[in-house]
Chain A
């Protein structure tokens, strides 16, 4: 059974940093692209970033480019999101999601999410 467990969320001041982690199990992690998708309180889903299975290619939304970095450690079956220069508008539940293939297509499995709150 595929399991995705996010961690690392919390309260951070504007301008601060946070690193999210997503522990994956139940599948061969390196064979699949992985993504982060966020959801602001009471709002819809917003794609944030995707990394292919090898980790060689990444894609990010313009809203986080230059501030957020997606990475993965295939030896630890873990996905990361390093978030720097955080803003109030980054407040959201952050979901980790698995793609259908090693590159990227739709999102087959999602975690339960971790809440990031940016506030002074």
Chain B
């Protein structure tokens, strides 16, 4: 099983600042990596797939990069609606696995 490790667990950021979230895979997943955003009481929302492609309707302030085992999600200028929990997920191998999540909170 591929273990996905996200860091940090919690990120405190002021509105308007940049947020950088990391995701590491225990073995290569090529570019088969997705990022999701989850707000309290809601189902997750797809942000990024293929490590760097924004999903439909996702603002340009969200960007993804990386391949193999190291990935990054960057939110260039945090808006109030971006404070949430973010998960990475690999879809290269079975079983599909998620990182434990990074909570982005208001500083």
Q: Is the CB of B45 within 8 A of A47?
A: no
Partner of A112, one of B42, B87, B89, B100: B42
A→B interface (CB under 8 Å): 35, 37, 44-47, 50, 59, 61-62, 95, 97, 100, 104-113
Q: Is the CB of B91 within 8 A of A44?
A: no
Q: What residues of B have a CB within 8 angstroms of the CB of A113 in the complex?
A: 43
Indicate whether A110 sits within 8 Å of B91 (C-beta atoms), given known contacts A47-B98, A50-B96, A105-B49: no
Q: Enumerate B73-107 residues with CB–CB distance to A below 8 Å.
A: 87, 89, 91, 94-101
Interface of A: prevailing SS: strand
**What total of A-B pairs shows CB separation below 8 Å?**
54
Indicate whether A44 sits within 8 Å of B46 (C-beta atoms), given known contacts A50-B96, A105-B91, A106-B89: no
Complex Cα distance, B89 from A110, in Å, reads 14
Indicate whether A59 sits within 8 Å of B98 (C-beta atoms), given known contacts A105-B49, A107-B34, A110-B44: no
